[in-house]
Amino acid sequence: MAMESITGRSASRSKTLTPLVWAQRNLFSSIGNTMLTLASAYLLWLTIPPVLDFTIFSAVWTGTTREACLAPGAGMCWPFIWANIDQFIYGRYPPEEIWRVNLTFALGIAVIVPMLIPGLPARRLNLVLLLIVYPLVAIVLLAGDRPGLPPVPTSEWGGLLVTLVVAITGIVASLPLGVLLALGRRSEMPAIRMFCIIFIEFWRGVPLITVLFMASVMLPLFLPEGMNPDNLLRCLVGVALFSSAYMAEVVRGGLQAIPAGQYEAARALGLTYWQAMGQVVLPQALRHVIPGIVNTFIGLFKDTTLVLIVGIFDLLGQMRAQLADPNWTIPQGALTGYIFAALVFWVFCFGMSQYSNFMERRLDTTRER
Amino acid sequence: MSDGNGKRLKVSDKVMIEMKGVNKWFGDFHVLKDVDLTVHEGERIVIAGPSGSGKSTLIRCINHLEPHDEGSIVIDGIELTEDLKRIDEVRREVGMVFQQFNLFPHMTVLENCTLAPLWVRKMPEKQARELAMKFLERVRIPEQASKYPGQLSGGQQQRVAIARALCMNPKVMLFDEPTSALDPEMIKEVLDVMVELAQEGMTMLCVTHEMGFAREVANRVVFMDDGRIVEQAPPEEFFSAPKNARTKEFLAQILAH
Ligand SMILES: Nc1ncnc2c1ncn2[C@@H]1O[C@H](COP(=O)(O)OP(=O)(O)OP(=O)(O)O)[C@@H](O)[C@H]1O
Ligand SMILES: [Mg+2]
């Protein structure tokens, strides 16, 4: 099959073959395959050269103003990116306070990276730092309103900062909430089960845009006068609840794959419900659904762009805002901006996906079955 | 198997398990019917009966994996009610071995054995590990301690499951067809361990079709049919002079093999 040429499997198998034999076997083994191969080659010929030309060969790498990018046939306009990089990362965060965002990023890396490396000691301390201490520190640093830290309202946050705040909050909140909801949905207590089913089905049934819109526009109408939680905070809660419903169903799939005997054996040994779940059932169930969990994370990461609908400027929103800047009206502006945003999103999502593959392989070698 | 000296073991007067008028339903299906059963400390009971007669359900009621609907079950002086504290208390004293082993595949053999001592008995880690090794030696697989269950044969897995249960120092051991999922050549290694356990005076309830084991080790065979205990007798009597018609039929089938 022509398609096989892009999978790693046939590439490794072909090591012993000469290129000619390989091509004959994989690309031209029948009339149908030959036609598919030629059609694919033609499509690639049509698309790849212009893309490479725009992003690399004709790209403008240096310069400080739009004039640099106005030459006829000029490609990707990096000066536009460099000139607006602060907006892309921090939004309208006051420039003299940007160190606070950087510090928050650095602290975030310092608590997340050790969590991702398997086999490090002090897991529990790390988890407490990540789930409890870090969020509090981050709120104080970013929002301020403390001695030495002037307040920065969330309406001035933007760019990658907002993307990461929304995505990480959603990710960190959705896993534990999703696990609880999944357990609740399988509970023997009818009230709890009913509650979880209704909760999950409600949030899965509405589009995220609706959730964000309700959180931002409708909720204040229902809340008592004077109680007006921050717009970003409302969206964060909306995103967290929304993604926890999806996560619950992923986790439930994992729970269903674990034979009842596992839970029974744990209970027969005297373990409590929570011990049996925490030590025996969940570690196995979550392991089964790592791809599904990461898939939900990636979906959530990309869905953060929807906060634009309620006037919050994430990376993509900020990019669009900068495009409207008259100093940067250039023909290839939109293309440049979208390619750059896509690149940033891709780096994060690809990173998550690679990490998930790594974890799967690692856990697989220890499971031995 | 051993020389049958299991039968000469003393049985104390102390009542370990007392079931009185136990009834249980699965929906409309009456699975246990007026079951009365008294087990003394040190007794070895073999429970036999046709498939679906309620043997598993009976022993699963003893550690409340299945709740009973009527009657009373008292284990070592603790009555099983819906009170979660008492259920946990009973489960700490009652070990169980399953047909499908039910080892935890994500943990090593040693971790399987130390899990309950660590979390339920709150034992220090070093002590739990020593205890686990002691029992792994008793079931003759200390060298497998750091392997995962999936790397062991069925017979080895079942012996680990026995060691895992023993690590809680139970007063009663329940076995639900412990050898039914094993290849014939592995049955003996598991039965040998069970015979030793019986010789040490462990109170045991064992659902099994291994009539040789029943003859040598049990001091009572309990025969169930259709949710009832229809006959119970010492093995000599049970095998040579069964009284109930269903028992005779069952024995004829089993011994024909
Ligand atoms: N959870 C359940 N829900 C409904 N019916 C059940 C359940 N568990 C068992 N039963 C039914 O109860 C009856 C007795 O089951 P049990 O497992 O106790 O029989 P058993 O004597 O152990 O049989 P076997 O020799 O096949 O293991 C069977 O007819 C079975 O179908
Ligand atoms: Mg059974």
Q: What is the pLDDT of residues A309-363, one digit of tens each?
A: 888 899 999 998 888 888 888 888 888 999 999 999 999 999 999 999 998 888 8
- The CATH number for A198's domain is 1.10.3720.10
Residue A340 lies inside a defined structural domain of this protein? yes
Instruction: Provide the β-strand partners of residue B40.
Output: B15
Query: Is B150's CB within 8 Å of A367's CB?
Result: yes
ipTM above threshold 0.85: yes
Residue A350 lies inside a defined structural domain of this protein? yes
Query: Is A261's CB within 8 Å of B102's CB?
Result: yes
- Hunting for tokens 């361990």 — which residue is that? B193
Chain B CA closest to residue A279: B115
Distance from CA of A279 to the nearest CA of B (A): 8
pLDDT at B116: 96
Residue A345: strand, helix, or coil: helix
- Residue with the smallest CA separation from ligand 1 atom 7 is B26
Measured from the Cα of B60, ligand 1's closest atom is 18
Residue B163: strand, helix, or coil: helix
Name B193's Cβ contacts closer than 8 Å, sequence gap at least 6.
B138, B139, B140, B159, B162
Burial degree of A64 (CB within 10 A; 0-12, 13-18, 19+): exposed
- Residue with the smallest CA separation from ligand 1 atom 28 is B52
Contacts of B150 in chain A (CB under 8 A): 367-369
Distance from CA of A247 to the nearest CA of B (A): 22
Both structure tokens of B60: 């699963």
Radius of gyration for the alpha carbons in chain B, expressed in angstroms and rounded: 18
Query: Is A265's CB within 8 Å of B103's CB?
Result: yes
Chain A CA closest to residue B96: A268
Contacts of A283 in chain B (CB under 8 A): 106
- Residue with the smallest CA separation from ligand 1 atom 4 is B26
Q: How many residues are given for chain A?
A: 369
Contacts of A272 in chain B (CB under 8 A): 88
Residue A356 lies inside a defined structural domain of this protein? yes
Residue A127 lies inside a defined structural domain of this protein? no
At B45, is the pLDDT very low, low, confident or very high (cuts 50, 70, 90)?
Answer: very high
pLDDT at A145: 84
Q: Can you tell me the mean pLDDT for B197-202?
A: 92
Instruction: Establish if B65 touches chain A: CB-CB under 8 angstroms.
Output: yes
Return the higher-pLDDT residue of A59 and B140: B140
Return the higher-pLDDT residue of B196 and B256: B196
Chain A CA closest to residue B66: A264
Residue B54: strand, helix, or coil: coil
Q: Which of B22, B35, B47, B56 to mutate to test the pocket of ligand 1 (most atoms within 8 A of CB)?
A: B56
pLDDT at A4: 45
- Hunting for tokens 């033609």 — which residue is that? A42
Q: How far, in whole angstroms, is CA B138 from its chain's centroid?
A: 18
pLDDT at A2: 43
Beta-carbon pairs below 8 A across chains A and B: 70
- Hunting for tokens 């809340």 — which residue is that? A223
Contacts of A270 in chain B (CB under 8 A): 88, 91-92, 116, 120, 168
Q: Can you tell me the mean pLDDT for A136-160?
A: 89
Measured from the Cα of B49, ligand 1's closest atom is 21
Distance from CA of B110 to the nearest CA of A (A): 14
- Cα of A117 to ligand 2 centre, how many Å? 44
Chain A CA closest to residue B87: A270
Contacts of A267 in chain B (CB under 8 A): 65, 91
The residue type at A295 = N
Ligand nearest to the CA of B66: 1
Cα separation values, A174 from A96, A186, A248, Å: 34, 18, 8
Q: Which of B28, B46, B55, B66 to mutate to test the pocket of ligand 1 (most atoms within 8 A of CB)?
A: B55
How many domains are there within chain A?
Answer: 1
- Residue with the smallest CA separation from ligand 1 atom 22 is B56
User: Kind and range of the H or E element at B228?
Assistant: strand B228-233
Residue A294 lies inside a defined structural domain of this protein? yes
Instruction: Establish if B136 touches chain A: CB-CB under 8 angstroms.
Output: no
Both structure tokens of B110: 């040693």
Q: Which of A171, A137, A157 is nearest to A89 (CA)?
A: A157
Q: Where does ligand 1 bind, in terms of residues with CB under 6 Å? A: B 26, 29, 31, 49, 51-57
Q: What is the pLDDT of residues A162-212, one digit of tens each?
A: 999 999 999 989 999 999 999 999 998 999 999 999 999 999 999 999 999
Residue A147 lies inside a defined structural domain of this protein? no
Q: Which domain holds residue A337?
A: 80-93+152-368
pTM value?
Answer: 0.85
Name B247's Cβ contacts closer than 8 Å, sequence gap at least 6.
B223, B225, B230, B231, B238
Q: Which of B156, B158, B161, B154 is nearest to B143 (CA)?
A: B156
Angle at A253 between CA B57 and CA A257, to 5 degrees: 45
Residue A17: strand, helix, or coil: coil
Pairwise CA distance, residues A316 & A344, whole Å: 10
Residue A85 lies inside a defined structural domain of this protein? yes
pLDDT > 90: percent of chain A: 47
Contacts of A269 in chain B (CB under 8 A): 91, 95, 115-116, 120, 164-165, 168
B47 in Cβ contact with B222 (< 8 Å): yes
pLDDT at B1: 40
At A13, is the pLDDT very low, low, confident or very high (cuts 50, 70, 90)?
Answer: low
- Hunting for tokens 């869905």 — which residue is that? A303
Lowest mean pLDDT among A80-84, A99-103, B4-8, B197-201: B4-8
Chain A CA closest to residue B150: A369
Residue A257 lies inside a defined structural domain of this protein? yes
pLDDT at A367: 52
Measured from the Cα of B50, ligand 1's closest atom is 25
Beta strand B203-207 with B44-48: parallel, antiparallel or unpaired? parallel
Q: Which of A363, A355, A315, A346 is nearest to A88 (CA)?
A: A315
Residue B18: strand, helix, or coil: strand
